[in-house]
Structure 1
Amino acid sequence: MPRNDSTAHKKSKATPPAKKTATRKGKSSSYNAYMNTKLAELKKADPALKHSEAYEQAFAEWKKSQKGKIAK
């Protein structure tokens, strides 16, 4: 015989959380669009180039192109 009511019943398992449904992706920013195209160009020009090095080059060119532009 159980000592109290709480031990008399087995605890039920928690229900798993509902899976997230697919969400719509937002519009890509101009930076993301630039980086995607620039990285592809750099990798096509030099396939042996590491991703980190290509990213640094693309970022440097992005920064140079944005210099003097007013942020919106």
Structure 2
Amino acid sequence: MVISTHRLGLAAYMKMQGCVLLKFENRRFFFETEKDLTEWEVAYSNSCCYRHDLELCELRKLYPSTPRG
């Protein structure tokens, strides 16, 4: 089946787990997979990858809002 998500972290997790990325369109990732979206979301939320993404977002708040140069 083909499923899609707009969540970058989930898309990266799915790709890391071997899902084939079919296309990226309108800010959505489309994957060929045998699992449904809910199964992927549960697996991702229980993974160390999810924890990493949360910590990354927290640290990102510390960056200055002006571009580096």
TM superposition score normalised by structure 2: 0.34
Q: Which has the larger radius of gyration?
A: 1
When you count helix as a share of all residues, which structure comes out higher? 1
TM superposition score normalised by structure 1: 0.33
When you count strand as a share of all residues, which structure comes out higher? 2
